Chains A and B, each alone.
Chain A
């Protein structure tokens, strides 16, 4: 699914040797984060976007959204995506399934000219059952989960709209590199994981 590019090994990226991968990764961070770069894998504060989705009212307590970052994985390109398309991939580890959706309507964290391209982890945050195949294009939701019917809103950060999960569906942070759609991080803890990047092999990045 991702182009096989010349890229440094994970070890080289972690060493902070100024490799192409590290520079590309840090450049990606600057698009959405105002944090201090302390290493390749770290938590970054993700500032919200101007997608038109309602934000917290003035004066309301705001919890900082915290994400785990990834060197970046090319998922697909804008030109290949029609409204309603779904692209499955593994991210950020080889054991964490995710899907990219072109919703046809503006979404929080959406990329592309219509801000309608989003990606989410697809293991249900209730008890881990697979949500792939449960996309309802008409309502821009993922679900009902085949196990207990939890359903998530893909336009509102994976918020639970029905069911029993205690967490949003983790959103995959996307950025554009020309026409390429790059996954660069994960917002929220993946089902089954204690830490998004420490419990399974990480998918090789750019």
Chain B
């Protein structure tokens, strides 16, 4: 394997071997939550083009609309437990609702590229909690951060009431986060000041939806 970054423009994509770990999950971008399958397997192993030799269970080249072609942009390499692993995030060809047959938007089709890798465009991702103290960002542990935020929320509610709290959040902060933030704001705190951003990724095959 050459430079990892160069692989983004390759003419080859590695296939997951039959024993690759597979997780069925949802897209992190929009509230439609299309189905995806995430395959991980150690660098150095690779599946073959015959159906029985890869975890996709299909012969290569795959047929049109098979939903089983991993494009190079659906693949990346990350470190898991100290070892390099291939990651393939494939629109789920077995999905029976929403993205039936593995249809996908360009956002969902490039989910693998959002993963952290020190040699790629995500190298500058925030990896730990930082608190600005006297103008300088300093690392702090989770329990300290939660205590600071909880104290701030308690102060606002005690002095200004529930409506003193407002939330701005984005559905592409993951499906689970969106659910938790919404429950927290409306249910636990009881504020009406919530500004979500839930813009669905309209595919070109859904004309007119943006007018609704």
Contact = CB atoms under 8 A, between A and B. Distances in A.
Interface of A: 43, 63-68, 95-96, 123, 125-130, 144, 147-150, 160, 162-167, 186-196, 198-200
B49 A68 contact: no
Interface of B: 5-6, 8-15, 49, 60-67, 69, 71-74, 102-106, 109-110, 203-205
B109 A192 contact: no
Contact of B204 (A127, A163, A186): A163
B161 to A, nearest CB: 46
Contacts of A123: 64
Contacts of A43: 10-11
B11 A189 contact: yes
Nearest to B54: A194
A192 B61 contact: yes
Contacts of B106: 160, 163-166
Given A189-B11, A199-B49, A149 B61 contact: no
A147 B205 contact: yes
A162 B49 CA distance: 31
Nearest to B56: A194
Given A160-B106, A167-B72, A127 B67 contact: yes
Contact of A148 (B13, B15, B204): B204
B72 A189 contact: yes
A82 to B, nearest CB: 31
Contact of A194 (B60, B74, B203): B60
Contacts of B60: 192-194, 199
A189 B204 contact: no
Contacts of B71: 125, 165-167, 189
A128 B5 CA distance: 26
A164 B49 contact: no
A128 B6 CA distance: 24
Given A127-B103, A164-B104, A63 B5 contact: yes
Given A125-B71, A164-B105, A192-B64, 11 more contacts: A63-B9, A128-B63, A130-B64, A149-B205, A166-B73, A187-B11, A188-B11, A189-B10, A189-B12, A191-B69, A199-B61
